[in-house]
Amino acid sequence: MTGFLDLPPMLRAHGVIRLPGSKSISNRCLLLAALAQGETQIHDLLASDDVDRMLDALTALGVTWRREDESGRFVVHGVGGCFPVKKADLFLGNAGTAFRPLTAALALSAGEYRLSGVPRMHERPIGDLVDGLLQIGADVRYEGRAGFPPLHVLPARIEGRRPIRVRGDVSSQFLTALLMALPLTGEEATIEVVGELISKPYVAITLNLMARFGVSVRQEGWRRFVIPSASRYRSPGALHVEGDASSASYFLAAGAIGGGPVRVEGVGAHSIQGDIRFAESLRELGARICMGENWVEASAPETGKLRAFDLDLNAIPDAAMTLAVAALFADGPCRLRNIASWRVKETDRIAAMATELRKVGAEVEEGEDSLAVTPPAVFRPAAIDTYDDHRIAMCFSLVSLGCRVRINDPACVNKTFPGYFDSLGKIVEPVPVIAIDGPSASGKGTVAALVARALGYHYLDSGALYRVLALAAMRAGIALEDEAGLAQLAESLPVRFDEGRIWLDGDEVTDAIREEICSTGASRVAAVPVVRAALLERQRDFRRRPGLVAEGRDMGSVVFPDAQCKIFLTASAEIRAQRRAKQLIDKGIAANMRDLLRDLMDRDARDAARPVAPLKKLDDAHLLDTTGFGVEEAVAFVLDEVRSSLNAPR
């Protein structure tokens, strides 16, 4: 696992995304171009791990290709038949779209080949494909467990005219692999599908692309396919890869959940990809969908909320994962049916989705080939494990439209969409945070509370958290030197903030925490790094729609480094001392200006010098010196800054 990515809660989604090329089309085009006679120019080929695995394999098999710098166009020199290299060892990662079709093509290439992948690839069944190949005389052996990669392919006499019977109910890629490879025999070939063929639209992509390369398959429904004798692949010259319709699903769902409109460019009404039907499913959930020749657009339902659904998703297994996450936002329990193929994908997706959906608060019932999802009443922030499965990472990023979410190992999206999180960032707008800091008695508390009220935002007085912790520690008899004890207390601190009043374990402490003993206690506990770490998530939970004003030391640097507006309030020490004196006198407490001034200056020095979260204006914070200002002017200044920061282009 390589790290994690924290996504803040999002306010809304809208914008336009240019999609990367389709993985399914890219890898099919590459293989067909390699086997074809002539040179093929491929435009908009997807740049991703799975495509790289195919390109590496083609190189190893003696196919030459190049990527043109200026246009990004790929040029593949077809070998006009079987691969010229007759002995090779291929490592294909976890790329099913490379592994299956290459297995079939190599079995017919009269050479000796080894095909292997990552451990998960070796858990994904391939027996039905191998059985199909054995029926026409191919020599394909299992190097490990029978029915699974790695494979050892040996030269054999192929009898292409024998009909092949292949199961269609585990993976449609077996049929795709046979269809693409069989023209290599030059003989008429017949494939009969046993059992109900799943994921039919993917087979339709295969047939469509084969036709573009000059091989027309005669089709009798989805049961029988005949490849005419003397079929040969010929380059169509140039080809454009459509945008990836499965990748489109995340953005369209973002538009349907987060307001929209979100438009994806690169696929449209006439797409050859089955996953374009995802847009129809979203429409059944109430989303507003528009489609053009080369774009699709999604917006939230008129009512604002997606409708509960019960759908057979056999035709769109990949995009269906996005619906499982969309179910979190629906107005009732949802059911995804006929998705057994999820169990043999990058991971057991039914089990993985159930586990991760539960983490964010959904109730999930896992069936053998179905999933029932009851949306959570309240979203729970969670760390999502991604099982080296790009689609889990991408679809769970949509949870951020409900609450903050951590995506573990986010780089797994490289399998099909290396720039995914950057693209997502372009269409989502995080819940805004205004971070206000400044020295003691600068008026930041008063100003922050008034700004929050003016904007209708939530308000976080982070200093109060440290004060409550100090009070709770003293009440529980935990010494302020006991770092582990303090951290443990901080983790489970039973504090509640409610309309300006503060409660500790059911006891109101609003005034108690302002006493001197809590001020000094707070400043001691706040200097303990494990305490700060323990309070981090709790502070982040204050970021809720429509926005947050967060006041305190590390609001803009550690807790909300992505705050849209950061303010550093200050005033001369003399003015601050005068303000403090007035506060004390108003409360009937005697105040000595000289002592107050000295205390303040000492505290400034200590706060600025402390190693943990020192007092410091951040480079990206707006400075406001309130020495000559009243509270109202300070609030007006901050509101101005907030408005221009929130309107600034993202």
Min dist. Cβ of residue 489 to ligand C5P (A): 16
| Cβ atoms 607, 601 nearer than 8 A | no
463 binds ligand C5P (CB under 6 A): yes
User: x/- string (CB under 6 A) for ligand C5P, residues 533-572?
Assistant: -------------------xxxx-----------------
Pick the closer one to ligand C5P by CB: 36 or 470: 470
Separation CA 126–CA 170 (nearest Å): 9
Separation CA 412–CA 479 (nearest Å): 45
Pick the closer one to ligand C5P by CB: 88 or 535: 535
Q: Residue 214: helix, strand or coil by DSSP?
A: coil
| Cβ atoms 145, 121 nearer than 8 A | no
Pick the closer one to ligand C5P by CB: 261 or 463: 463
Pick the closer one to ligand C5P by CB: 248 or 490: 490
Min dist. Cβ of residue 481 to ligand C5P (A): 17
613 binds ligand C5P (CB under 6 A): yes
One-character DSSP codes across 83-125:
-S--EEEEE-TT-HHHHHHHHHHHHTTTSEEEEE--TTGGGS-
124 binds ligand C5P (CB under 6 A): no
**Sign of the CA dihedral with 406 first, then 408, 409, and 412 last:** negative
Pick the closer one to ligand C5P by CB: 17 or 502: 502
52 is catalytic: no
Distances (CA, A) of 221 to 189, 211, 226, 246, 338: 16, 17, 11, 25, 20
Based on the number of CB atoms within 10 Å of its own CB, is 86 exposed (0-12), middle (13-18) or buried (19 or more)?
middle
Q: Could you tell me which stretch among 321-329, 401-409, 487-495, 521-529 binds ligand C5P (CB under 6 A)?
A: 521-529
Angle made by CA atoms 456, 451, 6, in degrees to the nearest 5: 70
Separation CA 128–CA 131 (nearest Å): 5
Separation CA 382–CA 359 (nearest Å): 6
The tokens of 136 are what? 């026409």
Separation CA 42–CA 26 (nearest Å): 9
462 binds ligand C5P (CB under 6 A): yes
Q: Which residue is catalytic, options 318, 389, 437, 461? A: 318
Min dist. Cβ of residue 491 to ligand C5P (A): 17
Q: Which residue has the tokens 């099909």?
A: 416
Pick the closer one to ligand C5P by CB: 558 or 593: 558
The tokens of 162 are what? 């024998």
Q: Could you tell me which stretch among 97-105, 162-170, 522-530, 635-643 binds ligand C5P (CB under 6 A)?
A: 522-530
Min dist. Cβ of residue 300 to ligand C5P (A): 36
Separation CA 323–CA 304 (nearest Å): 17
The tokens of 625 are what? 């010196």
Pick the closer one to ligand C5P by CB: 377 or 609: 609
Min dist. Cβ of residue 595 to ligand C5P (A): 18
Separation CA 572–CA 469 (nearest Å): 30
Q: Residue 346: helix, strand or coil by DSSP?
A: coil
The tokens of 333 are what? 């329990």
User: x/- string (CB under 6 A) for ligand C5P, residues 403-442?
Assistant: ----------------------------------------
Select the residue interacting with ligand C5P from 522, 548, 569, 571 (CB under 6 A).
522
261 binds ligand C5P (CB under 6 A): no
Angle made by CA atoms 290, 303, 499, in degrees to the nearest 5: 130
Min dist. Cβ of residue 590 to ligand C5P (A): 21
Phi and psi at residue 425, in whole multiples of 5°? -60, -25
Size of the site for ligand C5P (CB under 6 A): 14
Q: Could you tell me which stretch among 282-290, 373-381, 405-413, 460-468 binds ligand C5P (CB under 6 A)?
A: 460-468
447 binds ligand C5P (CB under 6 A): no
Select the residue interacting with ligand C5P from 74, 295, 457, 466 (CB under 6 A).
466
Q: Could you tell me which stretch among 69-77, 301-309, 416-424, 463-471 binds ligand C5P (CB under 6 A)?
A: 463-471
Residue nearest ligand C5P, CB atom distance: 463
Select the residue interacting with ligand C5P from 523, 557, 564, 626 (CB under 6 A).
523
Based on the number of CB atoms within 10 Å of its own CB, is 625 exposed (0-12), middle (13-18) or buried (19 or more)?
middle
Pick the closer one to ligand C5P by CB: 180 or 464: 464
Q: Could you tell me which stretch among 98-106, 328-336, 384-392, 461-469 binds ligand C5P (CB under 6 A)?
A: 461-469
Distances (CA, A) of 74 to 42, 58, 77, 221, 272: 5, 13, 10, 35, 21
The tokens of 38 are what? 């002539």
Q: Which residue has the tokens 């799975």?
A: 50
Pick the closer one to ligand C5P by CB: 37 or 519: 519
Amino acid in position 242: E
Min dist. Cβ of residue 495 to ligand C5P (A): 14
Min dist. Cβ of residue 242 to ligand C5P (A): 50
Min dist. Cβ of residue 435 to ligand C5P (A): 10
- Residues near ligand C5P, by CB under 6 A: 462-464, 466-467, 522-523, 526, 552-555, 607, 613
The catalytic residue positions are 318
